[in-house]
Chain A
Amino acid sequence: GEDVEQSLFLSVREGDSSVINCTYTDSSSTYLYWYKQEPGAGLQLLTYIFSNMDMKQDQRLTVLLNKKDKHLSLRIADTQTGDSAIYFCAEKSSTLGRLYFGRGTQLTVWP
Chain B
Amino acid sequence: GAGVSQSPSNKVTEKGKDVELRCDPISGHTALYWYRQRLGQGLEFLIYFQGNSAPDKSGLPSDRFSAERTGESVSTLTIQRTQQEDSAVYLCASSPTRDTDTQYFGPGTRLTVL
Contacts and interface: CB of A to CB of B under 8 A. Distances in A.
A96 B42 contact: no
Interface residues of B, number: 27
Contact of B56 (A31, A35, A44, A96): A96
A103 interface: yes
B25 interface: no
B101 A97 contact: no
Interface size class of A (residues with CB under 8 A): 20 to 34
A104 B91 CA distance: 15
A26 to B, nearest CB: 13
B104 interface: yes
B40 interface: yes
A55 interface: no
Interface of B: 4, 31, 33, 35, 40-45, 48, 50, 56, 59, 91, 93, 95, 98-99, 101-108
Given A43-B93, A98-B59, 15 more contacts: A42-B105, A44-B105, A45-B102, A45-B105, A48-B101, A88-B42, A92-B101, A96-B48, A97-B33, A97-B48, A98-B48, A99-B33, A99-B93, A102-B42, A104-B42
